[in-house]
Chains A and B, each alone.
Chain A
Amino acid sequence: MSEVAAAEMPVDRSIDTSKMQISDELAIQITGMNKWYGSFHVLRDINMTVYRGERIVICGPSGSGKSTLIRCINRLEEHQAGQIIVDGTELTGDLKNIDKVRSEVGMVFQHFNLFPHLTILENCTLAPIWVRKVPKREAEETAMHFLEKVKIPEQAHKYPGQLSGGQQQRVAIARSLCMKPRIMLFDEPTSALDPEMIKEVLDTMISLAEEGMTMLCVTHEMGFAQAVANRVIFMDQGQIVEQNEPKEFFNNPQSDRTKLFLSQILGH
């Protein structure tokens, strides 16, 4: 046993794992992927396979390329070598493929990125109406359903600027869910939040995991990783250094880099 302290549970309830099943159907496949910012080699030979229903937490020190990695999955960042296949569609320069992947993959950002000129409800219905061509009435019903799920239906007619950070992030999650995505990407969703609000956002993410959503989550919330992740990936200097199931990862880290990181993030 390692001496690393156990992370705190993010919610006070027991987690229902009955629907957290991993199928052998491929969701994302990344092979030999490399990316450069100018001459800086940010991602180096990334190989990664994600099956449907997996809940993966990606962690690592800042600048290790973890955000860049998940931003490559919906091509907010372009990769220069290797292959990324999302839901059977390969990401290349083809705009049609990119739009197809983006409408299937939801993304939640560190700074929420809600549209400040639209109400909460309009934020949630915009993409379904304009991308999926869903009738307005139906889109609003779906939006209200997901706003109830993230527990803020009463804010539907307010503007993002009137909500707290935690509420905004839950709206951002609802906005992504309204597109009925098959994969959700979270890019440090709780890093810009106060501790109290972190809890409400993690709670939302956990209930999403309980429904069997395929999730990739860049986060430093190790409690969340232990509670719901089936795999933890540790990155450093643009490479995947170690990946394992959470129990093994936290209790028995293999590489020295991982041990150092864990002792810094969990140690006292």
Chain B
Amino acid sequence: MSDTHSNTVSYVRDTMLDQQEPPVTERGVIKWLRENLFSGWLNSVLTIASLGVIWFIIIEIGPWLLNTVWNAESLRECRAILDGTSGACFAVIKDRWHQLLFGFYPPEHYWRPVLAMVLMLVALAPILFSEVPRKMLYFSVLFPFIGYHLLWGGSVWLPISVLLGFVVGYVAFRATAKLSSLVSVIAAVAGTFLWWVFLAGPFDAAMYSVAPIGLEYVRSDAFGGFLISIVIGVSGISLSLPFGILLALGRQSDMIFLKSVCVIFIEFIRGVPLITLLFTASLLLNYFLPPGTSFDLILRVIIMVTLFASAYMAEVIRGGLAALPKGQYEAADALGLDYWKAQRLIVMPQALKIAIPGIVNTFIGLFKDTTLVVFIGLLDPIGLSNAIRADTDWNGIYWELFIFIGALFFIFCFGMSRYSMYLERKLKTDHR
């Protein structure tokens, strides 16, 4: 090699240079300021304008927030304490927080929604985080029944009876499993519904007459505040995902009737405002049900919210399915996986991963849409803020209530958003 460079002048370095600091404009605070705030005249103007806006907001809101009255019985008393100065009156939250959280749930039973909330977090843990022992999923499966009994009370045999419906379905499935998978699925669904329609009620009544166990019954109209938002939101979220998956698969199916049913359902639900469905749930549904059947209003709203969200969910998941290369289906087929196994093991994990941002978007939208139930007379936090203002003590107070409600909603939605980002990062398996 060396002879090819024989015409270059020979050079040998005798002193090595020490490492030196970069120039002052290229390090520390100055570098950061230059790069992030003043990297050009337009950006400098924008920086100064933003600082102005932030300053204005702080100047306007800061004193009002800092000068908060926490101890007062009414708005009048608040104003007397403030004595003409600008200040917030969060005393209303201190006075009425229990209503904003629980509505008119009997105060001596507050422990029930609180316990249900704690158990819900326990049930969610294994679903949200794979580090939690898998065995806890059994609890997650049972939680809806436990949660129902804690919140509404009544006969303990009712949720057990509903649960038994699934057992009946499973037995029917196993009994017919040898015939064909379609027959056994139909048998399972039919068994479950037959039990629910004909035997669940009598079973509950019979067992309750023998062993009257159960918490005190709380009527649905006592529910309110964030309790109602969370009950509707969490049920809607956890039910709309599986329904959305089934609808998306149905829409992709080759079976023309199944496909049409799914398409019509999705397009109909997406074409109708949620508020219409809620009015249908609260008013019209009663006309169609046999006389004498009372069908809980919260349950009806949960069904409608679920249907609404699952139509959106189906489209979001369809987007994920469309993004999956055809080769993935072919590889699954070529290995001999049947349709459901291929969906469960290969297609859905990837499609859902792609669809996470859209799914969580739908979840957040659903959770915030629960405030619409105020229009059909359920007292969600917004409804309660009206109720609180209707009291002469707090007539005329707006900001403090809405700030509190907004902050709580924000915490839930922000939590979901952060979780989705965590999940995306965790499931990222390409180019690491």
Q: Which positions in A face B, CB cutoff 8 Å?
A: 74, 76, 95, 99-100, 102-103, 105-107, 109, 111, 113-117, 126-127, 130-131, 159-162, 175-176, 179
Give Cα A161 to B350, complex, Å: 14
Binds A, one of B309-317, B337-345, B380-388: B337-345
Name the contact of A109 in the complex, choosing from B327, B337, B349 (C-beta under 8 A).
Answer: B327
Q: Which of B310-351 contact A (CB under 8 A)?
A: 325, 327-328, 330-331, 333-338, 341, 345-346, 349-350
B: number of interface residues (CB 8 Å): 22
Name the B residues within 8 Å of A109 (CB-CB). 327, 330-331, 334
Identify A76's interface contact among B330, B338, B353, B430, CB under 8 A.
B330
- Contacts A76-B330, A117-B349 given; indicate if A131 touches B429 (C-beta within 8 A): no
Contacts of B336 in A (CB 8 A): 99-100, 102-103, 127, 131, 179
- Contacts of B349 on A, CB cut-off 8 Å? 117
B337–A127 CB distance below 8 A: yes
Closest beta carbon of chain A to B83's beta carbon, Å = 64
Q: Which residues of A contact B334 (CB under 8 A)?
A: 74, 76, 102, 105-107, 109, 176
Which residues on the B side are within 8 Å of A105 (C-beta)?
Answer: 334
Write the nearest CB–CB distance from A56 to chain B, whole angstroms.
Answer: 18
With A115-B331, A131-B336, A161-B430 given, name 5 new contacts (CB 8 A): A74-B333, A113-B327, A113-B331, A126-B345, A159-B430
Given contacts A109-B327, A126-B345, A130-B341, contact A116 B429 (CB under 8 A): yes
Task: Let me know if A111 and B429 touch, CB within 8 A.
Answer: no
Contact of A99 among B330, B338, B427 (CB under 8 A): B338
Assess the B328–A113 pair: CB atoms within 8 A. Answer: yes
Residues of A within 8 A of B333 (CB): 74, 76, 102
Minimum C-beta distance from B430 to chain A (A):
4
Contact B335 A175 (CB under 8 A): yes
Nearest-Cβ distance from residue A46 to partner chain B, whole angstroms: 20
A111 and chain B: residue at smallest CB distance:
B327
A100 to B337, CA, bound (A): 10
Number of A-B contacts (CB under 8 A): 72
Q: Are the CB atoms of B335 and A117 closer together than 8 Å?
A: no
Contact pick for B335, options A95, A102, A160, CB 8 Å: A102
A-B contacts, 24 listed (Cβ < 8 Å): A74-B333, A76-B330, A95-B338, A102-B333, A103-B335, A107-B331, A109-B327, A111-B325, A111-B327, A113-B325, A113-B328, A115-B331, A116-B429, A116-B430, A117-B353, A117-B429, A126-B335, A126-B346, A127-B337, A131-B336, A131-B341, A162-B432, A176-B334, A179-B335
Q: How far is the CB of A106 from chain B (nearest CB, A)?
A: 8
Q: Which one of B328, B337, B353, B429 has the greatest number of beta carbons of chain A within 10 Å?
A: B429
Cα A115 to Cα B345 in complex, Å, equals: 10
For the complex of A and B, the 7 pairs showing the least CB-CB separation, nearest first, are A103-B336, A161-B430, A113-B331, A113-B327, A127-B335, A102-B336, A107-B334
- Is B431 positioned at the interface, with any CB of A under 8 Å from its CB? yes
B280 to chain A, nearest CB (A): 40
Kindly list chain B residues whose C-beta atoms are within 8 Å of the C-beta of A175: 335
Q: In the complex, which residue of chain B has the Cβ closest to the Cβ of A132?
A: B336
CA separation between A175 and B346, bound complex, in Å? Answer: 14
Asked if B330 and A130 sit within 8 Å, CB to CB, the answer is no
Q: Contacts A76-B334, A102-B335, A111-B327; is A116 near B350 (CB within 8 Å)? A: yes
Q: Smallest Cβ distance from A134 to chain B, in angstroms?
A: 13
Distance (whole angstroms) from the CB of A102 to the closest CB of chain B: 4
Instruction: Report the separation of the CA atoms of residues A120 and B240 in the bound assembly, to the nearest whole angstrom.
Output: 33
- Cβ distance A243 to chain B, nearest Cβ, rounded Å: 25
A112 vs B330: C-alpha distance in the bound complex, in angstroms?
11
Query: With A and B bound together, what is the CA distance between A160 and B353 in angstroms?
Result: 16
Which listed residue (B337, B353, B427, B430) contacts A131, Cβ 8 A?
Answer: B337
Instruction: Give B406-432 interface residues, CB cut-off 8 Å to A.
Output: 427, 429-432
